[in-house]
Amino acid sequence: MSQPAYPSLRMRRGRRAPWMREMLAEHRLHPSDFIWPLFVCSGDGCEEPIDALPGVSRWSVNRLGERAREAASAGIPCIALFPNTPGELRSEDAREALNANNLICSAVKAIKDAVPDIGVLTDVALDPYTSHGHDGLVDADGCVVNDDTVKLLVEQALVQCGAGADIVAPSDMMDGRVGAIRAALEDAGHCDTAIMAYAAKYASAFYGPFRDAVGSGGRLKGDKRGYQMNPANSDEALREVALDIAEGADMVMVKPGLPYLDVVQRVRDTFQVPTFAYQVSGEYAMIEHAARAGAGDRDALMMETLLAFKRAGATGVLTYHALDAARLLNG
Ligand code: PBG
């Protein structure tokens, strides 16, 4: 048998011109794919650049309205808020988390006042409020205790809802917290408040810049491997997601993002629930530093990584690049 003179199918026909590539694209990014995390600081009229996250700042509450308007006009549907609690308000028992006038609650109200139609997501975990930097209460042996922590997380979620949060996102990885929060929200009449569970959250080295941004890094005693997942596991992620869905999560999240795209894809394929990925602080920093070092074009690196989340099946992405990426898409 002789070889045919020509290949019967030339895949390059589909790549030959921009219009053809556009027509055949299987996945597309849109500004509505993004949730924009913002850091909040105390003070008046402040912008505090975060050294560990080039291009990202903490904003005082009265500067958040501007950010919300920027996000809304770029088509970003939702903002996620993280407070840098002043040191004197951090304690062993994280009581500031339950203060209805704390930084995060003030931030939620400021955003809702400025732009009522943008979604606001708040993080449920104690690390911005504890003197030891852990997401829960710590016992005498330095171990994070589950059930007492869950009681506090429930109170924290109720306080955030009272301030106007649309989505509460437990990022603490305690067992049973989603069910406990769901039941308490229903009892309190917050039946419209959604839960996005940080369902598969790994004990990752990519959270470093975030911990600087919220001021918990220097305080952290030990590590979070007793509650966050082992990066070696992915079947376990499916069990975590199944539990959180059964307990009432409306949407689930995989975190970090790029190193765990396989998990994003398995979760989406297995459960068909809204599945978000968090492109975390260390991933953001990696792209920014690579671009600054001349290793690649920043915007191209940004868009290629964001598109990868869509290809893996993510419904959307929490990313510090949200505003820049949305503006690029808007042209
Ligand atoms: C804390 C929390 C963390 C992040 C979001 N919520 C850090 C951690 O678990 O130590 C990380 C986000 C990022 O790195 O961008 N509950």
Domain boundaries, the chain: 28-330
Atom of ligand 1 nearest to the CA of 37: 15
Three-class secondary structure assignment of 77-115: CEEEEEECCCHHHCECCCHHHHCCCCHHHHHHHHHHHHC
Alpha-carbon distance values, 32 to 164, 215, 217, 272, 286 (Å) = 21, 30, 31, 19, 24
pLDDT in tens, 62-76: 999 999 999 999 999
Which residues are annotated as catalytic? 201, 255
Q: Which helix (H) or strand (E) holds 246?
A: helix 235-246
The alpha carbon of 70 and the centre of ligand 1 are apart by a number of angstroms equal to 24
Atom of ligand 1 nearest to the CA of 284: 15
Q: From 36, 210, 276, give the residue whose CB has the most ligand 1 atoms within 8 Å, as the site to mutate.
A: 210
- Confidence class of residue 187 from pLDDT cuts 50, 70 and 90? very high
The total of other beta-carbon atoms located within 10 Å of residue 168's CB is 26
How large is the average pLDDT for residues 269-276?
97
Q: Which helix (H) or strand (E) holds 178?
A: helix 177-187
The interface pTM score, or ipTM, of the predicted complex is: 0.97
Looking at ligand 1, which residue's alpha carbon is closest to its atom 5? Answer: 171
Q: What's the CATH number of domain 28-330, 3.20.20.70, 3.10.440.10, 1.10.510.10, 1.10.10.10?
A: 3.20.20.70
Binding residues: 240
Q: How far apart are CA 326 and CA 197, in angstroms?
A: 25
Q: Which residues line ligand 1 (CB under 6 A)?
A: 123, 125, 127, 135, 171-172, 207, 210-211, 224, 280-281
Among 159, 251, 146, 121, residue whose Cα is nearest residue 198: 251
Among 30, 35, 25, 37, residue whose Cα is nearest residue 276: 35
- Confidence class of residue 3 from pLDDT cuts 50, 70 and 90? confident
pLDDT in tens, 222-248: 999 999 999 999 999 999 999 999 999
How large is the average pLDDT for residues 38-63?
97
pLDDT in tens, 282-292: 999 999 999 99
